[in-house]
Amino acid sequence: MNIFYNKEGIGDTLIVSLRDIELSSRTFETKKNVTRIFDEKSNITAGYNIFEASTVLSFSGHGPIKLTEELVAEVNRVIQESGFSESIEVDLSPKFVVGYVQEKEKHPNADKLNICKVDVGTETLQIVCGAPNVEAGQKVVVAKVGAVMPSGLVIKDAELRGVPSSGMICSAKELALPNAPQEKGILVLEESAKVGEEFSA
């Protein structure tokens, strides 16, 4: 689940994004100031738009909004008070974490890509990485599936040249860190960084 707010761009509307669905089967239902977006065939909910959001919810920020238990509870309250019965469940674990590159091997179908096994504390992820400086033994910043990059890109499970990839090893530029180098390359952290901990600039 990701939440976005851009009052200047689209007005006082909170966008609650749960999952992608096919555009051809997407449909809508509106009750009071809430619109549910869902798949017409499966009835699976893709998300909600909450209109006049600042009058019914307590939040601040622009662009991606940080999820908290309190905000999720408020969103559920507004959705249910509008007449929908659904309750949203959210994974609030950190999406930007310190990872340790355990293994690196060349991608069989792409010269500039590598397949990395990255320990993020709770699990080991397979991530396809195109950075020229990635190496086994590094501590790095991993954007897990569900993370929203500063650019607005949402990280999803993907397949790159036939190889599954779950997450992204980040550069300083992708993380919008101040004075980030312009040349390509991931951000390599100090050895003292603790695997699995949330990364904050």
- What does the pLDDT look like over 129-152, one tens digit per residue? 999 999 999 999 999 999 989 888
Give dist(CA 175, CA 151) in Å, integer.
Answer: 9
Residue ranges in the chain whose pLDDT is less than 50: none
Q: Quick one: which of 95, 101, 105 has its CA closest to 66?
A: 95
Residue positions counted in the chain: 201
Q: Which helix (H) or strand (E) holds 81?
A: helix 69-81
Question: What is the pTM assigned to this prediction?
Answer: 0.78
What are the Cα distances from residue 72, in Å, to 22, 78, 172?
A: 25, 10, 30
Give dist(CA 155, CA 89) in Å, integer.
Answer: 19
Give the pair of three-digit tokens for residue 165: 């990839």
